[in-house]
Amino acid sequence: MKAGKLNYHLAAGLDDAIALNLAHDGMAKYMAGGQSLMPMMNLRLASSEEIIDITRIPELGQSRAMGEHFFMGAGITHAMIEDGKVHDPAQGYLQHVAHGIAYRSIRNKGTLGGSLAHADPAADWPTALLALGAVAVIKRPGGDVQIPLADFQLGLMETCLGEADLLMGVLLPQLSTSARWSYVKFCHKVGEFAHSIGAVVLDTTQGLANAVLGAAGDKPVLLPRLSAKLSQGMRLSELTTDAFTALLEQDIAEQTSHDKSSYDFHLHKTMITRAVTEALKK
C-alpha cells in the first residue's frame, strides 16, 4: 500500500513549522527522516493530508554544550552519532547504541527526535536516553519547555507533545571518564525491533545510577529497586545471590504485566542481569 494524497510543506525554521501546523489546526505531521511516519502512512496506521518537512531547520541539527549539559538536536541522524560526526557526551554510550539500530540505510535517514516522538517502546533511543536521565526540549506555540524523558513518553506511541508542539532536541548529562554503562538487547534477527532491552548508566560524579528495561510494555521503565541498589554500590559477586534475584524479580513484576513463569519475564530478567554485569565489569 501507499500513502494517500497529501500536501507537502517545507519549513524554513522552527517558528515557520509551528505556524504551518497551526494553520492546519494542529493536524499536520512533522517529518524528518520519515523512517517511521511513511511506513505507518502506507499501512494506514497514521494519516494526515498535510506533511511538514523539518529536515532543513538548522537548529534541529545542532549539538553543543549548554552549561553542565549537552544539547543534541532532534534532527541529528543515527548515522551521525554512530560515525562520531557529533560529540558523544556519554563516553561512547550513544555511539554504541546508534551502531545497533536497524540497518545502515535506516541509520542514514532516521533521526534522534523521530525515534523519541514515535515512542515505540521497542525502539532504542527511548530506553537508552531514559537511562541517561535525558530531558526533552520542546517548542510550543506558547514558549519553549523542558520535560524529563521519564514524563515525555506517556504510553504506547504516545507522548506529551501537543498537536503543534515540535521536539527540538534533548539535554544530556556529560558523563565523567569514570562512568560505566551498558546497553544490551535481544532480537530474533539483526535489524528488527528488540524483544527486550537492558540499559544501565552509572556515574557517581553526575549522581546517575539508572537501570532501565525496554521493550517490555507500553514504554521503557526505570527499575527503582535495582537502581537504588546500584547507587549504593554493588559488587559482581552479588549478582548470583538470592537477594539480588528477589530484588530484580520484584522490580520486573511491578513494572510489567508479565507473569513470573512466562518466557517474557525470564527474557527481561536475563537481559537486565547481563546489562548490570557488563556495567560492573567496566
Percent share of the chain, pLDDT over 70? 95
Q: What is the pLDDT of residue 5?
A: 77
Contact 215, 121 (CB under 8 A): yes
Residue 177 per-residue DSSP state = T
Co-location of 98 and 149 in the same domain? yes
Q: Is residue 1 a part of any domain in this protein?
A: no
Distances (CA, A) of 250 to 156, 214, 244: 23, 16, 10
Co-location of 91 and 169 in the same domain? yes
Q: What is the pLDDT of residue 46?
A: 66
Q: What is the pLDDT of residue 47?
A: 62
Structural domain boundaries, residue 99: 58-173
Q: What is the pLDDT of residue 1?
A: 60
pLDDT for 156 beyond 70? yes
Total domains in the fold of the chain = 3
End of a domain among 173, 202, 225? 173
| 3-state SS class at 56 | coil
Q: What is the pLDDT of residue 109?
A: 93
Mean pLDDT of the residues in the chain: 93
Co-location of 137 and 69 in the same domain? yes
pLDDT in tens, 200-210: 999 999 999 99
Q: Is residue 164 a part of any domain in this protein?
A: yes
The values of phi and psi at residue 90, to 5°, are -110, 30
Between CA 178 and CA 270 the distance in angstroms is: 26
Q: Is the pTM value of this prediction over 0.75?
A: yes
Contacts with 8 (C-beta within 8 Å, 6 or more apart), sequence order: 51, 53
Three state DSSP letters for 103-157: CHHHHHHCEHHHHHHHCCCCCHHHHHHHHCCCEEEEEECCEEEEEEHHHHEEECC
Amino acid at 5: K
pLDDT for 255 beyond 70? yes
DSSP assignment string, 226-244:
HHHHHHH---GGGGGSHHH
pLDDT in tens, 217-233: 999 999 999 999 999 99
Average pLDDT of the segment spanning 99-109: 94
Average pLDDT of the segment spanning 253-263: 96
